[in-house]
Structure 1
Amino acid sequence: MTRGVRLILFSLLLLCAGLTAPARAEVVVSFYSHDFGDRFPHAFIVIKGTVDATGEAIDANYGFTATSVSPAILLGSVKGEVQTSKSDYIEKSDRQFDVTVDDATYARLMAKVGEWRDRKQPSYSLNKRNCVHFVMELAEVVGLKVNRKSKLFKKPKSFLIEVKGLNPELG
């Protein structure tokens, strides 16, 4: 076999090997808002994708809300919980933007969700620890700039639009 034929065969082999290599895994974190109503939370994240290191498929969502909605929310801290929403609630909500994260960032994100889940009760405060504060901290974990002095902590959609404005790479 001539050197030229071997070079062509070798090139074809490399090309075929590249085509059969597994696709790079990725995890996408989507930030959502839901207009006010009787269902909660009004700000939350949806996580979908595959963890690169393990191949684990991810399809989850997390928001933070009071465990019981009552006038007590207006008076101070009440019991809070990290909650997942049903697909119909997500479908009726507004996706504001997406961020693709690596495995290490995904692990930090899940640690932050766990931190909120495990907080000492009462953990929900309309003015200091609500669903918008929760997604603000998750936005920081994925590397986004946020305004910690925002006046929009009771306006989920407006807050996420503000975050988008602070991060032009989000488009």
Structure 2
Amino acid sequence: MTFWSHEFGNTFPHAFFTLRGTPDARGAPIDTSYGFTAKTLTPAILLGTVAGKLEIGARGNILGSDARFSVVLTDAQYAQVRALAAAWDAKTGDSRYNLNKRNCVHFVMEAARTIGLTGLDHPKLMKRPRAYLLAVAAANRATVTIIDLPAAAYLATLPPLAPVKATVASAD
């Protein structure tokens, strides 16, 4: 699980995470992203709660962002993160967006809490994705791998995901 951010720009959300790898229990490799943002970007987001949406697999957002840190998840943690995403998705949960109380930084904070990271409460940084993730990384230096690379540089370091090997049933 890698946590990403960018401060400004026209791509949203500004904080999100990616999941990449193969579960210990096997199965298909995973390579996707999750972020939370307002459904429609209008001045209404400055006034209160609006409809939100979960962004899944938005590759364009990754390319303009920086990888901040990563954590290796257990299968149980992976399942918990997927459950968290479902809870924030309009199809299966609560997708209300509020710039001050339930934005993209709040979403990554809850994901970090779900996997057991600490030092997550930084009220003054909840609208500052980069600063927030740097503070979380600093608080969890012993349990995370610090990356701090632009997307292209970080993605170039990743090995290809191993394809799922087909199993052949034996004929007895």
Please give the TM-score of this superposition, normalised by the length of structure 1: 0.78
- Is 1:50 the equivalent of 2:3? no
Contact persistence 1:136–1:146 (CA under 8 A): no
Of residues 139, 152, 166, the one that matches 2:112 is: 139
In 2, Cα distance between the equivalents of 1:85 and 1:158? Answer: 24
Q: CA RMSD in A?
A: 1.4
The superposition leaves residues 107-165 of structure 1 with CA deviations (integer Å, 9 ceiling, x where unpaired) of 011000111113345x0000000000000000111111133342100000000001011
In 2, Cα distance between the equivalents of 1:38 and 1:84? Answer: 17
Match of 1:60 in 2: 32
Q: Report the Cα offset of residue 84 of structure 1.
A: 2.5
The one-letter code sitting in structure 1 at the alignment partner of 2:120 is N
Contact persistence 1:45–1:62 (CA under 8 A): yes
- Is 1:92 the equivalent of 2:57? no
For residue 50 of structure 2, give the secondary structure of its aligned residue in structure 1: coil
Match of 2:155 in 1: none
Farther off after superposition, 111-120 or 73-82: 111-120
For residue 47 of structure 1, give the secondary structure of its aligned residue in structure 2: strand
Contact persistence 1:73–1:125 (CA under 8 A): yes
In 2, Cα distance between the equivalents of 1:120 and 1:48? Answer: 25
Q: Report the Cα offset of residue 85 of structure 1.
A: 4.8
Where do residues 115-126 of structure 1 align in structure 2 (5 Å cutoff)?
A: 115-117=87-89, 118-120=92-94, 123-126=96-99
Identity %: 45
Please give the TM-score of this superposition, normalised by the length of structure 2: 0.78
Count how many residue pairs are aligned between Structure 1 and Structure 2.
Answer: 142
For residue 62 of structure 1, give the secondary structure of its aligned residue in structure 2: strand
- Is 1:76 the equivalent of 2:48? yes
The one-letter code sitting in structure 2 at the alignment partner of 1:40 is F
In 1, Cα distance between the equivalents of 2:11 and 2:57? Answer: 10
In 2, Cα distance between the equivalents of 1:99 and 1:166? Answer: 13
Contact persistence 1:31–1:95 (CA under 8 A): yes
1:51 to 1:85, Cα distance in 2 relative to 1, 3 A: closer
Q: Report the Cα offset of residue 70 of structure 1.
A: 0.6
1:167 to 1:120, Cα distance in 2 relative to 1, 3 A: closer
Q: Report the Cα offset of residue 38 of structure 1.
A: 1.4
In 2, Cα distance between the equivalents of 1:112 and 1:55? Answer: 21
- Larger Cα-atom Rg: 1
Farther off after superposition, 110-119 or 59-68: 110-119
For residue 151 of structure 1, give the secondary structure of its aligned residue in structure 2: helix
Structure 1: where are the runs of 5+ without partners? 1-28
Of residues 89, 101, 117, the one that matches 2:73 is: 101
For residue 101 of structure 1, give the secondary structure of its aligned residue in structure 2: coil
